[in-house]
Structure formats: C-alpha cells, structure tokens
Chain A
Amino acid sequence: MQTPFAVAAADPSSTNIWAIANTPILWICILGVFAVIFVQTVLYAKAAKAAAPHIEMPARELKEAFRAGAVASIGPSLAVVLVAIALLALFGTPAVLVRIGLIGSAAAETASASIAAGTMGASLGGDSYTQQVFAVAFMAMSLSGAMWMLCTLIMTPLLKKGGKSLAKRNPAVMALIPTAALLGAFSALTIAELPKSNVHLILVGISAASMGLCLYLAKALNQKWLKEWALGISIVIALVSAYFLHTA
C-alpha cells in the first residue's frame, strides 16, 4: 500500500531526489522527532523547576538560564539554518531537518552521506546521485546517528554510576573534571581551526577579540544583556569579516 504520490514519484534510477525525499510519510516521521524533543524539553523543564527550590535556586535563575540558553543559541541556530538551506537540494527538506538540524552535524552527516554514496560508485549531487543512492545514503546516515544515540543510552547510566562513586570519594575531582574537560574541548576545537587557512586563523582572532571586547564592555558598563548576546555578536562580526576576507 503506497500513497499515489509516492508511486508516481518513485523511480530508483531517477535523479529527481526531491520527488522521493519529500514524501508525506517521511514528513510525518520527521515531525514526530520534533514532537519527541519538544515533549522532552517540557518534561525536563518541569523536573528542574521541581528540584530548584530545594537547592536554594530561585525560579528567577531558572528563567534566566533558559533565556540565556535561548539567546545564545540564536546565532548558532541561524548558522545551522543557513547550512541546512545550502544542503536542501541534496537531501530534501525532511532529511535535512532531522539529520543536519537535529541529531548530527552538517559536517559529519554530509561526510557520512558522501561515503555511503561512494560505496555505490556515486557522488553526491552528481549525475550518478539517483533516488536509490539517496535512499542508501540517508539510511547509512540515520543508522550512524542511531548508533550515537544507542551508545548514549547504554553508556550514560554506566558513567553515572562511575561519576557517583567518584563524587563521594573526592568532590574536588568532580569540580575539576568539568572545568578541565570544557577548557580542553574548546581549546582543541579552536586550535584545530587555526591551520585550516589564513582566513580561519584571522577569524579565530577576530571572534576571540570580539568576545573579549563584549565581555569587557558588559562588565565595565554593567550591561548584563551584552553577556548573553556576546556570542551572537561575535559570530556576526566574524562572519561579516569572513565574507569580506573570502571575496577579497
């Protein structure tokens, strides 16, 4: 039982990817993922609200944290939107929404799709990129993403047990680990950008300097909102600089 729409559009050797990539059943599955994340968000916020008063954390701080997270993610979200739009022609809207927008990242998912297409002797976006190649690439990306979630589901409870016993034995370690891990992660991710090109090198500097300036001004002028917007402002300044450096 197939919808007439899919029957009319489906042809394994056709290169009309959008015909198969935008079928209604796919849209329903993808909107289901959105709904699941939305429900999770509501449940988590409720749980946090219930716990906060007992650790002497006023509701105002929860709201502030929510708003700070929301504002901080505007820039990165819009950046993801831009990249997603660039990939729409390749994967169609539902696949882009769920793979690039959620769960994975543009780099990892596009790489996965390209590797998967390669195993079928095809290249993404080329003449050999048929509906069948798309189907296999989409399947491979999704299975890879599923493995990430499966590992998270299996390992989180195990790590939590380890973390708990460590926290009891040595609270100083548990305070130090996240600090050191965060600094380590962002140092590694930032420094990995430096050798990519001169433009990357300059942009890391511009972005870092913009953030430094925003944080300094936020403190000097006592403007708290500037602290929340600092990331978005820095990204915009760096991307505008990137546009001029790139086209220069």
Chain B
Amino acid sequence: MSSTSLSSSAAASMERFDRQTSRYGSITMTLGLILSLAGPIYIAFFSGMEVTASMVWVALLAVAATFGVLWVVEPLTYFPILGSAAMYQAFMIGNISNKLLPAAIVAQSAINAKPGTKRGDLAAVMAICGAATVHLTSLLLFVGVLGTWLVHNIPVEVIEVARLYILPALMGAVLVQCIVSMKALRPTIIAVAAALLVNFAVIPLVPAVGPFATALVVAASIVFSWVLRQRTAQAATEN
C-alpha cells in the first residue's frame, strides 16, 4: 500500500468517525437534554407545588445573568481541546475541567499521542468513555445506592475538606502533567504568564472580566503561542 492511499483511507475513516460521532452525539445529547428537563418539569408543574411560570422565569433570569456567558464561552473554550466528537460527551457527562480533560491528557500521554492528532482524538474519546463508565458506576453505587447510608457514616469534616480543597488538590497536579506531556516550552511560558496577568492584573482592574478569565487566558495563549512560535522548529512540528 502506498503512503498516499494509506493516508487517504485514514482520512476517509476519520471522516466516517466524525460523521458517526456527530450523529450519535447530537441524538443522545438531545435525548439527555429532554430527560434532564422532564424530571424538574414534573416536580414543578405536575406534583401540586403551585409553581408559576413567572417564578421560573425570574429564577432563570437571575441564573442567566451569572452563568449565561458561560453557556456560550465554555463550548468555545473547550472545542479546540476536545474536538467535535468529545464535545457531545463532555457537555452531558459534566465535570469537564476536573475530570474529563485530565483523563484525556493522561490517556494521550500513556500512549504518547499529541492532542489534535488523529491518534490523540481517538485516545481522548476512549479516555472519556473510560471516565464515563467509572463515573456512572461510582455515582450509581456510592451516591445512588449507598448515599443515604454513607451520609450518616462519613465524618462531616472530611466532606467539608474535600469540598473546600478538591480544586487546588487537583489542579496543581494536572498543570504539571499537562506541561510534562506537552513538551512545549514557549506555549507553557506564555500560558502561565497570561494566567498570572489575567488573574492578578486584569481581574482586579476589570472585575467584570471574572467569568471570562479562563476563556481569556486560553485565547491569549493561542494567539501569542502562534505569534511567538519558534520559526526554525517548523519542520519538527510537521512530523
């Protein structure tokens, strides 16, 4: 098999993978969306709670004022990292930054695949499948079945500590792992500099930026990594 026919069959099969996952993904996500709304609609409007539509509208508007921008910004932020197939998984399974992204990175580094490559994309999708399996099982088992029992047996202070400190306990490790597996010095320096600048200079000056902070750092990292890329290393990145 010549290298051209091999690469064209690779392109065709990735094309088919994209088509399949887009179809499966959008159908399952639409179903998930409907089912996730069916429960609260039943509770609010069909079980004698005397909830009016205006109560719901006012509450939703208040929530939208806080999180409305993230509805749009988060999919934009995560798309270049996840790729289209994993988008439909990630936004239904949830816990993207603290669970799914780390899982995808770990998997890519386990088989030495770079993100954005075909192998990297398939590894990310499989990693999220693995993460979803563990997550669904542990939720059903530990929260669904044993939850009530556990509530009375786990010391309150342990839960409190986990709730308060899970983010720093996770993020430090994930950042180091990310830096090590990327092996990209300039983008690393640029990303850390951008994050420091946004967090300690931009946000204190313009607090309204707060909800956009992560998106802003991501955008700055992409733009400046490109502008300041190592031109002589071009050949190496094309391999």
Contact = CB atoms under 8 A, between A and B. Distances in A.
User: What size tier do the contact residues of chain A reach?
Assistant: 35 or more
Contacts of A231: 102, 106, 170, 173-174, 177
Interface string A71-96: 11111111111111110110001111
Interface string B101-134: 1111111111101111111101111111111111
A112 B63 contact: yes
A12 B237 contact: no
A61 B119 CA distance: 9
Contact of A211 (B12, B119, B128, B173): B173
Nearest to B117: A175
12 contacts: A68-B103, A70-B134, A73-B103, A136-B44, A140-B59, A172-B234, A178-B81, A178-B115, A186-B175, A234-B172, A235-B169, A242-B168
A151 B130 contact: no
Interface in A208-248: 208-212, 215, 224, 227-228, 230-231, 234-235, 238-239, 242-243, 246-247
Given A37-B32, A175-B237, A69 B131 contact: yes
Interface string B178-190: 1110101001101
Residue of A34, A77, A172, A230 most packed against chain B (CB within 10 A): A77
Interface string A114-141: 0110111000000000011011111111
B54 to A, nearest CB: 10
Interface in A162-190: 163, 171-190
A135 B12 contact: no
Given A37-B32, A64-B111, A144-B63, A177 B116 contact: yes
Given A34-B136, A51-B122, A115 B116 contact: no
Contact of A36 (B35, B62, B72, B225): B35
A236 B140 CA distance: 22
Contact of B123 (A65, A160, A195): A65
Nearest to A111: B66
B33 A20 contact: no
B168 A163 contact: no
B106 A68 contact: yes
Contacts of B78: 185
Contacts of B42: 23, 25-26, 29
A141 B94 CA distance: 14
Nearest to B6: A56
Interface residues of B: mostly helix, strand, loop or mixed?
Answer: helix
A41 to B, nearest CB: 5
Nearest to B65: A115
Contacts of A183: 178-179, 182, 184, 187-188, 190-192, 221
A242 B14 contact: no
Contacts of A182: 81, 101, 105, 115, 178, 182
A142 B36 contact: yes
Interface string A38-72: 11110111011011111111000111111111111
A107 to B, nearest CB: 8
B163 A181 contact: no
A40 B17 CA distance: 14
Contact of A44 (B24, B36, B44, B119): B24
A69 B129 contact: yes
A204 B171 contact: yes
A212 B176 CA distance: 7
Given A89-B151, A149-B91, A101 B32 contact: no
A37 B132 contact: yes
Contacts of A54: 9-10, 12-14
B85 A44 contact: yes
Nearest to B32: A36
A157 interface: yes
A191 B213 CA distance: 11
A39 B28 contact: yes
Contacts of B179: 183
B161 interface: yes
Contacts of B143: 81, 84-85, 88, 93, 96-97, 101
